[in-house]
Each structure stands twice: as C-alpha cells, then as structure tokens.
C-alpha cells in the first residue's frame, strides 16, 4: 500500500507541468508506472479536470493511460470533494433511460461531464490528451459515442474524430426537433397546464455525424459532416450543425436528484448549415395530405425567441403538393406565425378540388398568422386562381381563412397549405386593386382603390373610384357590390353605366321589354349591332342573372336617339 502511494506521489509530481506550469525535463521520473491512478489538473489555481485511470505510465513528456476517465470540474469545486467521491470509471450506456442518467449525475454534482476512452496519451507540454480508440462522452445534456479524440485542456475543447453517435437532452421544452413545429399544420393550443409541463420536460434527440467538437468556453457543440438528427417530432439533415448551449449559473451551483432537468443546460441556438432538409413526423391522418418539410441552405433556430430563420437559395416550406418559398423565411413555431421576405411565392391546391389547377400567390412580403387565420401579402400582391378563373392584383392583400368548425369536420377535411380552408372567408385588397374574372363565359375586369370579398355571402365590395367592365358593358360609381353567385351588381353614390347593344337588345330599349313585333327585332339584330345606351343615376341594380336592370334617383338615359330623364327605370 505504501509503495502504491509512493508511485502515485511520484506520478503526480512528475505531471505537475500539466497542471500548473510549462513543461520541463522530467529526468528520473520519465519511466514511471502506476495502477488505479488519480490526478487533478489545475489552471490559475482552480481545479479544472480530474483524471482517473486503471493504469498509467510516464513515457518522457507523455503520459499513457489505460481506460482514462476525465471529469470536467465545475468552477469552485475543491479537489477534496472530487477525490473523496466514488472513483469508479463505470458509466451508463448511450441508450440508458433518463432515470439511470439522473441517478448517475446526482452522485456527480461536482462534474459538468466525463470523457472515457480505451486508452489515451497526455502531452504534458501542450496540455493535450488524445486517443485513437473508442471514446465515450457523458454529460447531463449530451451523451456521445465515437472513435478517436483529442482534448485541449488550455482551450477547453474536445474533438471526436469519427463515427459520432449522440443522445442530446434539453430541458425547458425546447429541442433540436422544435423547429419542425414551424411546418406543422395549425392546431388549437393545449392550454397553460400542458405548456407548463412541456417547459419542465426533458426532450431527447438522437444525432449522427462524421466528427464533433465540444467547446466548453464558448458553450458550443459543432457536428460536422453528414449530420442526421432524429427527434420525436421528425428528422433534420445537414452538412454541419452548430449548437449553442445556455447555462443557468444558479442551477449549476445546486443540483439535486433531478440532475438532468436541473442541470441548467438548455438549447440556446441551433445553426444547421448546408443542404438542410427538415421533415416532420406525421400521424396517419396527416400522412394522407402528403409530406411536410422545409429545405434551405441555412436554418437557424433560436430557442429563447422561438424563431426559425431559413435563408440561402430560395428556402421552401412544403406540405403535400403545396409549397411556400421566399428569399428569407422567419417562423415562430409556438406562436404559429411565419414571415416571408422578398419574392414570396405560394402554390396552393384547393382542398375540396385537389385535381383542379392550383392557386398561385406572389408578393414582395407576406406573413401567415395561424391563430388569426390570416395571410397578409404586401407589395405587388398577386393572386391567380385558375379554378375560380380569377386574377387579383393589389398593393396589399389580406386573406382571412375560414375557421375549423368541429372535430368531425376536421377529420373529413384534407387540409391545404393555407390551413385546410377550401375557400377564404374574407379577402381585403387595398391600393390599385385590379380584378379579372371569367363568369358564365363573360370576361369581367374591375379596378378600385379598395376591394373586400366575403366568402359566406358570396359578394365583392369595390370602393374608391371603382370601375367594372363586364363584357362590353362599362360601370362606374362611388361604390359597388358584386354578388358572385347571383350575377348581380349594385352601384351607389353616383352610377354611370354604358350598356352595350348586346345587353340592351336590338331596337330601342323599350322594345326589349314590350315590343310585340319580335320578327322585326330579330331582323334588326341580324342586320347590324345595336348602339349602346348610357345611363346615369344615383343607384343602379344590374341583376344579370334575373334579367333585370333597375335604376333609381335622377335617372338620365342617352343613346339611340333618346333623351330620357326619370326618377326610376327598369329594363
């Protein structure tokens, strides 16, 4: 026993350059061996690392250790607390349950993490340890298996060289899978109790990569090469992943039995770089609607702000056959808000008519608010709907989607990218509004300063100098209301209408409603097009579907040789 103590003292004395001073010639201590070795490493008189090893040998300026286990010591912990603790080099397996992980770290309150390898060489001059065999890293937040490692005690970095497999735990309801909520279909909030439980929960994610660097000074983990993330929420792949960790210093000082969730370590930021593909895991009902995923060159998730930013070469969100893309996309998964910047483009299939041509929506900027069922398009907003044979352009468009009514209707509805609504509940267009539509084979064009479409009522309101051309008819007024399904238009606040000959009929306007000589009217129609009629009034009701055109208030009719003034007029 005395000989073992002497060996340990000699080894510790020889290794002192590793702990506190520059390297020196070890002289007589250059060939020392020991078993069950323990060794502290200091920096600025503060304990930083603590080494345990089954056996150790001094080879010149290098230490060779068999099954070394290195503890990364928390700041301010005295060496007596570490040396007097359990000196076992046993660790839990990579797939150990959270309960086993928690029990392990509850007994190791002095440690931020451990590195275990089959063997390692310690360079005393440069304070670097390295090994080529299997390496195992364990911490309250991250567990890792890999092959080959190097640890720089000065820079406080650990690099694992290859075949990296990771288990990542994060408390506070945020994980590497949280960004996938950005492409999740809209659902009602589960309530404050569920949210509070999620905040205390430990999220577990599995990851793979070619190599990894852990920078303890910067609280940074870098996964490099063929990065694959597997989370309960889905999968993410990229060429590189940088994870920034947030440490709660108050929790670091006191850690009880709930060691994992109270470790004070949370996901701060995840930066996915290069060919990023994030795909949600879907339930059976969601799978019927097609895949849900996001593609980008760069994807950054900030946990505290709950923001996901996608940039690069046209990042895209996809749901089934629908997609949304822009130069930059910023999403807030929990708030269910997505913002699109520059050259925004949306391709949307109608839920009830999936075989019909999709709608195409473009704008300079757009945002999508799921809780409010609102989509805003700002700057050169353009909506093209081949299925509705409609085209709308404006400086600004606001699209309000119909709310889900009940669970039964949701089960039987195949949602689309716009939240499952087959028809917008309301559309508000402002600024240089232009509308084109084909209705009953009749081409319609409208322009106005403002347009409001109400889906349930099936009507369009036009204000601010509206003009409507329906076929060869031209209508102007202070305000218009167009009933889409009934082919009816009302004009108020001063109406000026040019009724084409085709609409008014052949002969004079009275012949359309009362002339009994139909043969004569037919002959006139065949011989030459009828002249148009202009009608000015305070109010007009053009009921094309009901074959009735009515005017009221200071009616003035001109055309076809007529000069007629009246209070009312029906055609």
| β-strand pairing of 69-73 with 119-123 | unpaired
- Give how many domains the chain has, as a whole number: 2
Q: For residue 29, with 0-12 CB atoms within 10 Å meaning exposed, 13-18 middle and 19 or more buried, which class applies?
A: middle
**In the chain, what is the straight-line distance between the N-terminal and C-terminal CA atoms, in Å?**
119
Residue 110 three-state SS: coil
Instruction: Grade residue 555 by pLDDT with cuts at 50, 70 and 90.
Output: very high
Given 287, 304, 321, the domain boundary residue is 304
Across the range 7-14, mean pLDDT stands at 37
Which of 519, 569, 525 has the alpha carbon at shortest distance from 549? 569
Which pLDDT value is given to residue 310? 97
pLDDT for residue 526: 54
Domain boundary residue, one of 304, 331, 361: 304
C-alpha 191/C-alpha 85 separation (Å) is 44
Using one digit for the tens of pLDDT, what is the confidence trace for 101-148? 989 998 888 998 999 999 999 887 888 999 999 999 998 888 999 999
Tell me whether residue 376 is in a domain. no
In a domain, 295, yes or no: yes
Spatial distance between the Cα atoms of 259 and 264, rounded to a whole number of angstroms: 9
Domain of residue 75 covers: 2-304
Asked whether the beta carbons of 209 and 152 are under 8 A apart, the reply is: no
Chain mean position to CA 32: 58
420 falls within a domain: no
Looking up residue 500, the CATH number of its domain turns out to be 2.60.450.10
pLDDT of residue 83: 83
pLDDT number for residue 87? 66
Q: What confidence score (pLDDT) does residue 17 get?
A: 37
In a domain, 337, yes or no: no
Tens-digit pLDDT profile for residues 488-514: 899 999 999 998 887 776 555 444 443
Last residue of a domain, one of 304, 334, 349: 304
Please give the torsion angle defined by the CA atoms of residues 278, 284, 288 and 291, in that order, rounded to the nearest 10 degrees: 10
Rounded to whole angstroms, the Cα distance separating 325 from 341 reads 9
Q: What does the alpha-carbon distance between residue 296 and residue 316 come to, in Å, rounded to a whole number?
A: 7
Does residue 44 surpass a pLDDT of 80? yes
Mean of the per-residue pLDDT values of the chain: 81
Beta-bridge partner residues of 460: 453, 482
**Does the pLDDT of residue 537 top 90, yes or no?**
yes
Element (H, E) at 324: strand 322-325
What would the mean pLDDT of 265-287 be, rounded to a whole number?
91
User: What mean pLDDT comes out for the span 435-446?
Assistant: 87
Residue 3: CB partners within 8 Å, gap ≥ 6? none
Q: Has residue 122 been placed in a domain? A: yes
- Please write the tens of the pLDDT for every residue from 373-400: 999 999 999 999 998 888 999 999 999 9
Q: How confident is the model at residue 426 (pLDDT cuts 50, 70, 90)?
A: very high
Structure tokens that stand for 260 in this block: 């994992």
Q: How far apart are CA 300 and CA 298, in angstroms?
A: 7
Average of pLDDT values for 62-81? Answer: 89
In a domain, 391, yes or no: no
Lowest mean pLDDT among 14-23, 58-67, 536-545: 14-23
- The answer as to whether 497 is a domain residue is yes
Better pLDDT: 479 or 186 = 479
Look at the block and give the residue holding tokens 């009701």: 541
* C-alpha atoms less than 13 angstroms from C-alpha of 331 in its C-beta half-sphere: 25
Half-sphere exposure of 252 toward its Cβ, with a 13 Å CA cutoff? 16
Tokens representing 73? 């010591």
Task: Give a yes or no: residue 486 inside a domain.
Answer: yes
């Amino acid at each position: 026993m005395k000989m073992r103590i002497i060996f340990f003292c000699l080894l510790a004395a020889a290794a002192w350059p590793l702990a506190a001073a520059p390297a020196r010639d070890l002289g007589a201590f250059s060939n020392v061996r020991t078993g069950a070795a323990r060794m502290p490493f200091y920096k600025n008189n503060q304990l930083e690392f603590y080494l345990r090893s089954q056996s150790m040998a001094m080879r010149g300026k290098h230490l060779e250790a068999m099954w070394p286990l290195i503890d990364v010591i928390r700041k301010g912990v005295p060496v007596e607390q570490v040396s007097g603790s359990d000196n076992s080099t046993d660790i839990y397996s990579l797939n150990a349950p959270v309960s086993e992980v928690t029990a392990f770290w509850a007994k190791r309150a002095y440690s931020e993490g451990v590195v275990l390898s089959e063997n390692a060489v310690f360079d005393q001059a440069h304070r670097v340890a390295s090994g080529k065999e299997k390496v195992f890293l364990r911490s309250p937040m991250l567990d890792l298996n890999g092959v080959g490692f190097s640890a720089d005690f000065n820079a406080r970095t650990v690099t694992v060289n290859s075949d990296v497999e990771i288990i990542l735990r994060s408390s506070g309801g945020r994980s590497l899978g949280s960004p996938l909520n950005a492409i999740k279909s809209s659902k009602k909030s589960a309530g404050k109790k569920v949210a509070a439980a999620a905040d205390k929960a430990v999220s577990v994610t599995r990851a793979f990569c070619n190599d990894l660097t852990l920078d303890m000074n910067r609280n940074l983990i870098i996964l490099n090469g063929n990065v694959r993330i597997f989370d309960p929420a889905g999968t993410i792949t990229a060429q590189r992943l940088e994870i920034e960790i947030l440490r709660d210093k108050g929790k670091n000082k006191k850690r009880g039995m709930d060691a994992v969730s109270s470790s004070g370590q949370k996901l701060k930021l995840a930066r996915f770089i290069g060919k990023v593909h994030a795909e949600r895991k879907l339930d059976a009902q969601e799978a019927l609607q097609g895949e849900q995923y996001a593609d980008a060159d760069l994807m950054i998730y900030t946990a505290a702000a709950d923001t996901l930013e996608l940039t690069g070469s046209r990042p895209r969100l996809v749901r089934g056959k629908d997609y949304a893309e822009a130069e930059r996309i910023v999403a807030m998964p929990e708030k269910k808000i997505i913002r699109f910047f520059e050259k925004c483009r949306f391709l949307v299939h109608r839920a009830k008519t999936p075989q019909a041509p999709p709608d195409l929506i473009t704008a300079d900027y757009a945002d999508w608010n799921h809780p409010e069922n609102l989509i805003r398009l700002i700057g050169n907003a353009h909506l093209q709907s081949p299925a509705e044979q409609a085209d709308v352009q404006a400086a600004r468009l606001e699209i309000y989607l119909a709310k889900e009514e009940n669970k039964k209707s949701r089960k039987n509805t195949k949602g689309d990218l716009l939240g499952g609504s087959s028809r917008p509940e309301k559309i508000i267009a402002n600024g240089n509004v232009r509308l084109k539509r084909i209705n009953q084979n009749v081409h319609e064009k409208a322009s106005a300063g403002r347009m409001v479409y109400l889906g349930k009522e099936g009507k369009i309101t036009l204000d601010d100098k509206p003009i409507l051309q329906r076929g060869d008819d031209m209508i102007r007024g202070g305000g218009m209301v167009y009933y889409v399904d009934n082919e009816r238009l009302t004009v108020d606040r001063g109406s000026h209408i040019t009724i084409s000959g085709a609409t008014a009929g052949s002969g004079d306007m009275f012949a359309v409603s009362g002339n009994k000589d139909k043969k004569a009217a037919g002959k006139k129609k065949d011989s030459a097009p009828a002249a148009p009629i202009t009608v000015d009034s305070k109010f007009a009701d053009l009921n094309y579907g009901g074959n009735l055109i009515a005017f009221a208030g200071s009616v003035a009719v001109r055309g076809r040789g007529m000069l007629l003034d009246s209070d009312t007029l029906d055609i």
